[in-house]
Amino acid sequence: MKKRPNILFIMSDDHASHAMSCYGSKINKTPNLDRIANEGMRFDNCFCTNSICTPSRAAILTGTYNHTNGVTTLDTPMDNRLQTFPKLLQAAGYQTAVYGKWHLGEGVMHVPTGFDDWAVLPGQGYYFNPTFIFPTENGCEKRTVQGYATDVITDMTLDFIKNRDEEKPFCVLYHHKAPHRPWYSDEKHAAMFLNEDVPEPDNLFDDYCNRARAAEAAAMRVGVDMYISDMKCELPDDMDEMERRRWGYQRYIKDYLRVIQSVDDNVGRVLDYLKEAGLEEDTLVIYTSDQGFFLGDHGWYDKRFMYEESLRMPFILRYPREVKPESVNDDIVLNVEHRVECRFRAAVPGPCRDSHPVGYAGAQFPIDPPGEHAARLARGDVLSVLDEQDGS
């Protein structure tokens, strides 16, 4: 039997793929995220099925669509009795943990289950000195942790990996709050872009004349439909709309990119530790976001609308034992397939219609639809996937 991989599943919040240099960003550099893509595979057409935090996170954990898992809106918490990929991994002998953004509800029916350890932010959480929910013998409790959220979540993740049982594989869900609004930078990156303008998207000044009425009515225009907490200053009242878009874009996008830079730096900390500890070859590293985001595209910020900038997710992975460096896949992949990817790599059984001789256990095990092809594509089994889709 081949050695089962460790799994590090990194997910940020609202990180658009066009703000990652491995996806060709024109506005920032993400050297540590690029390490994952350059040393593994970049998926160029990964999309979420519902571009809002809670439903997307439920789809990723359960591997099911939202009409199936019941998490249909931002205000619909997830029933923690549902089957999830961490539960399957835990039952198969993995050490499991989740740290950071949860946003699937609070209370006994909604806090994380299927994890040996966890600490999650209530709701969106705060960037500075965040409160976390921790498990206790009799339930859970909230405690404030000093520091910057991105650093704190990374520290928790590293502590778990360093103190794990080395005889067992691990799966850690390393979930950042950033770059969710209102985009408060740490001190290290606060001066980025101060003396320069960030390039504007070509359609920042979209007038919606050829779009549906909903586009013109959407209250998410940069610099116009934003709050003082977003802009970090009073909003000007002496500009027309297009002037406010240009002004607002620069203030918004610089803050957004600053918090992303902290995510990139901290991901680098974890990648460095995996290498130093001799875990690099045996660890599947995945980086994604719960959805995309408008970066001034069509004059907007936020997500929600069924436009490509909102639905498109970054999805990159590295597993040196099986995935060739600098691989690129342009097949369509959905967020419901992330669970399958982790289970596939770990060779963990689960309910399904079919069985496939895949994984590292040296035996057949079932994979559940939707989305078994994502894992096989990462492994390079493209032809058999296409043959099945063509009915050949």
Q: pLDDT tens digits, residue range 152-166?
A: 999 999 999 999 999
Q: Can you give the pLDDT at residue 2?
A: 72
Contact 168, 93 (CB under 8 A): yes
**For the chain, percent of residues with pLDDT exceeding 90:** 82
Domain boundaries, the chain: 6-185+257-390
Pairing of strands 312-318, 41-47: antiparallel
Q: In this predicted model, what pLDDT tens digit does every residue of 83-117 receive, in sequence order? A: 999 999 999 999 999 999 999 999 999 999 999 99
List the chain residues with pLDDT less than 70. 1, 338-392
User: Which amino acid appears at position 265 of this protein?
Assistant: D
Domain 6-185+257-390: homologous superfamily in CATH: Alkaline Phosphatase, subunit A (3.40.720.10)
Q: What pLDDT is attached to residue 365?
A: 33
Q: What per-residue confidence (pLDDT) applies to 58?
A: 96
Per-residue pLDDT at 182: 96
Within 13 Å, how many C-alpha atoms sit on residue 109's CB side? 4
Contact 173, 97 (CB under 8 A): yes
